[in-house]
Structure 1
Amino acid sequence: MKHLLAFLIISSLFFSCQKKANQATVKTTLKSTIKYAKGFDIITIGNQKKLVIKKPYQNSKEEFTYLLGDKTDLSKNELKIPIKNIVVTSTTHISMLEQIGAEKYLTGFPQTEFISSEKTRKRIADGKVVELGSERSMNTEKLLELAPNLVIGFGLNGNNKTYKTIMRNGIPVIYNGDWLEDTPLGRAEWIKFFGVLFNKEKEADSIFNVIESNYLAVKKIALKSKTIPTIISGNLFKDTWYMPAGKSFIATYFKDANTNYIWKNTQGNGSLPLSIESVLDKGKDADFWIGCGLFESREEMLRSNQSYNSFNTFKNKNVYTYATNKGITGGLIYFEKAPVRPDLLLKDIIKITHPNLLPNYSLTFFAKMN
């Protein structure tokens, strides 16, 4: 009887340990390589990969999980990879495709005139990328003729009728929420989203690691500055000044560049709607004005509103714009390339505010207004 009791106890302990070992094995095989982005994840469990879209659009309470494998079954949210034919809807996507060498799979885009990249512009000129109209009302007939494996969309909400029509015709649509990220590196990390779709994860990881390393290195350089200049940003739209909120990715750039952004302590990760009076009260004596909407010159700004001349930074010609750096058809380089190269954008801000720290660097996105 004693031997039987001992056997049962030992067996119980063995199976208990075995269960814990199995649980530990499951935990160790579940992997994620995402460090900064909050809107998506790539999870590997054994040989199974899952793409999780946590924040597809603003104020979303939905989360979408796609099983990545060797077939596409929309009823089960399965997606066949690698993608060989894709339609994207933001110029940010263009830059990320090119970074991983997947631009050759792009077959359609809404409003191609906004694309600045010379490489993709050549493909447009050669008829390899079809014009699909506007993002909100794409030409679905043309799109369906292209028969893409996947459409990458973005939107303010989940009620895009065009996307629903595309999905009803058996073509998967995945929302890309890179623009909703609160940090520069979080936005850039969406290159891994494209990497997993094209079986180019190693390439995407490698590219991002270099960008991350460059960003963190130049951030350290900024800390060497003995001066911390004050910054304002944004501009008036009608009677409201839209200023980057204190938790926004723009405010993060200003912080990492070792500057004193005057609205750094405000809440929110979008824009602050302010009156011109309140902006003047706090920002009249600011040292630099970085980012003033789509204005290309000080003269143009004054034609819009004479109040701009009340700011010392305006009178001292320390206003910097990204609106003058355009592609051949008028698309802005800033919108296309800056999200995936935050290291260069941070260098721009440091070059503007602490020019002696980067003596051999020339501005990539911004230009000083005349």
Structure 2
Amino acid sequence: MKKSRITIPIITVAILVACQNRKAENKLTNDEKDAAHFELIEKSGYSILEIREPFIGSGIVERFVLYPRGTEQPKEQNVTHYIETPVERIGLTSTTHIAYLSVLNKRSEIKAMVNTDLIYDQRLREMTEKKEVKSLGNQSINQEILIQSELDVLFDYTVDLSAYKKIEQLRSLGQAIIPIAEYMEHDPIAKMNWVKAFAAFFSPTDEIRAKVYVDSVESNYQKYVVLANERPNKPTVMLGYPWQGNWFVSGGKSFQAKYFEDANVEYVWRHTDQTASVALSTETVLKDALDADYWLNPGVMQTKSQLIDNDPRFKNFNAFKQNSVYTNYKRSNSNGANDYWESAVVRPDRVLLDLVTIFSTERPHLDSLYYYKPLGE
């Protein structure tokens, strides 16, 4: 199966850069509807990246002034960090960050990362093996290695106040940290739009490249939405697998629920108001989803036998009986790295195409699936 690619014409990028080499004061570079948690404000000769509410209920707004290396530092109010661009030495704490930088062809700028064993990207794995990318640790960041890495920026994320305080502690060491909040977005396209925020740390050419990329992927995505709506039926779909006594499903306002809406299927828990996960009992799921046509993302399970070995009641699900259980672990390795949780953030079009294929009224062309595969026996 050939890997799907998106190409960006270099001539197009060059023309757009030439046309936009003078930034308009206070011009917003992203649409509110596309990304709720960041905003790029262009000034004369520099830009400001605002990141809003980096974790649920925080109400925090951080402001980063990005200005060309070697020029005079601008004067702004309430600035978290002043950062010279383009940045040359980068640290990461999430595999999704890899995807954004890969779109921009900036892997070589990655010098350190947390949880390097969970990297799926082959080139970056080779870089870690050659010690070109340092490991910052796993559960917590090794401060000594962080300081030794001499990073221009560390792209981080935070899920609560406790984690945010750890970011502030690292900042006290002099490390510039950007709390990437893509996981807070409730729409797959909005998540992808964060590539524009990453591009702002590099050159105007990279910013245009990001915009062209987003426009291309979004165009593909909308084509697949139209394709999904041509299907006459509307199957039902359940999600997830129990973990530590709870069965976590995506809330009805989450990005996963948005995928199902755009794939023209009825998600069993679409009426819940949560944007994050909802914890249910297995008994509740057995009742709610017994007749669902499809079952997606059953944890790390690879076969139906594994499912019923863990709980024989699972064989009563209609989706199980109809051999309609699909896992998003098609692109994974023995270390537990899963490309769905890495590159899919910038390929919502490919995820949606997988879903449209799975839910097709005709026999699915399973060989064409990219992130998904049917569960084995």
| TM-score interval (norm. to shorter) | 0.7 to 0.9
Q: Does 1:123 align with 2:127?
A: yes
Q: Determine the structure 2 residue equivalent to 1:151.
A: 154
Q: Secondary structure at the match of 2:155?
A: strand
Q: What's 1:229 paired with? A: 235
Q: Which has the higher helix share?
A: 1
1:239 aligns with 2:257: no
Q: How has the CA–CA distance of structure 1 residues 361 and 294 changed in structure 2, closer, same or farther, with 3 Å as cutoff?
A: closer
1:275 shift after superposition: 2.4
Equivalent residue runs for 1:295-314 within 5 Å: 295-314=301-320
- State the partner residue of 1:315: 321
For the 8 Å contact 1:37–1:190, the answer to whether it is kept is yes
Secondary structure at the counterpart of residue 69 of structure 1: strand
Q: TM-score scaled to structure 2, two decimals?
A: 0.85
Aligned partner of residue 197 in structure 1, secondary structure? coil
Aligned to 1:212: 218
Give runs of aligned pairs for residues 51-70 of structure 1, distance below 5 A: 51-70=49-68
2 CA distance for matches of 1:345 and 1:99? 17
Q: Is the CA contact 1:230–1:288 (under 8 Å) kept in the aligned structure 2?
A: yes
CA contact (8 A) 2:66 2:83 kept: yes
Residue 263 of structure 1 aligns with which residue?
A: 269
Correspondence for 1:142: 145
Q: In structure 2, list runs of 5 or more residues that go unmatched.
A: 1-23
TM-score, normalised via structure 1 length: 0.87
CA distance in 2, matches of 1:59, 1:132: 28
In structure 2, C-alpha distance between the alignment counterparts of 1:301 and 1:30, rounded to whole Å: 53
Larger gyration radius, structure 1 or structure 2: 1
Cα pair distance change 1:224/1:357, threshold 3 Å: farther
User: Which residue matches 1:21?
Assistant: none
CA contact (8 A) 2:120 2:337 kept: yes
- SS of corresponding position for 1:159: helix
SS at match of 1:295: coil
The structural deviation recorded for 1:59 is: 2.0
How far the C-alpha of 1:57 sits from its partner, in A, is 1.7
| Contact 2:196 2:210 (C-alpha < 8 Å) held by counterparts | yes
Give structure 1 stretches of 5+ with no counterpart.
1-26
CA contact (8 A) 1:350 1:357 kept: no
Q: Secondary structure at the match of 1:292?
A: coil
**Aligned-partner SS, 1:43:** strand
Q: Which amino acid aligns with 1:176?
A: I
Counterpart amino acid of residue 59 in structure 2: K
Alignment of 1:1-370 (within 5 A): 29-34=26-31, 35-70=33-68, 77-134=81-138, 136-160=139-163, 162-199=166-203, 200-327=206-333, 329-354=335-360, 356=362, 362-370=368-376
Aligned mates of 1:103, 1:332 — CA distance in 2: 18
Shift of 1:165: 3.7
CA RMSD of aligned residues (A): 2.2
**Cα distance in structure 1, aligned partners of 2:234 and 2:162:** 45
Q: How many residues align?
A: 343
| CA shift digits 1:150-193 (9 cap, x unpaired) | 00111212433553343112111110011111011011111111
**1:314-364 CA deviation, whole Å, 9 max, x = no partner?**
122211112353146431111011111110000111110016498697111
Indicate if the aligned counterparts of 1:144 and 1:166 stay in contact, CA closer than 8 A.
no
- Higher mean alpha-carbon deviation, 123-132 vs 234-243, is at 234-243
Distance verdict in 2 for CA 1:76–1:185, change over 3 Å: closer
Matched AA of 2:172: R
Report the Cα offset of residue 62 of structure 1: 0.7
Which residue identity does 1:56 align to in structure 2?
P
Aligned counterpart, 1:5: none
Q: Could you say if the C-alpha distance between residues 114 and 355 of structure 1 is closer, same or farther in structure 2, counting changes exceeding 3 Å?
A: farther
Q: 1:28 and 1:47 mapped to 2: Cα distance?
A: 9
Structure 1 CA distance for aligned equivalents of residues 244 and 331 of structure 2 = 25
Q: Contact 1:57–1:175 (CA<8 Å) still a contact in 2?
A: no
Determine helix, strand or coil for the equivalent of 1:37: coil
Percent identity for Structure 1 against Structure 2: 27
Structure 2: how far apart are the matches of 1:286 and 1:75? 50
Separation (CA, whole Å) in 2 of partners of 1:351 and 1:341 = 16
> CA 1:59–1:238 in 2, change beyond 3 Å: closer, same or farther?
same
**Distance of 1:328 and 1:107 partners within structure 2:** 24
Distance change >3 Å, CA 277–CA 166, structure 1 → 2: closer
Aligned partners of 1:116 and 1:328 also within 8 Å: no
**CA-to-partner distance for each residue in 1:178-223, whole Å, 9 max, x for gaps?**
1111011011111111111112201111111111111111111111
- More displaced 10-residue stretch of structure 1: 236-245 or 166-175: 236-245
CA–CA separation in structure 1 for the residues paired with 2:57 and 2:372:
31
Distance 2:357 2:345 in 1: 18
1:238 Cα offset (Å)? 3.5
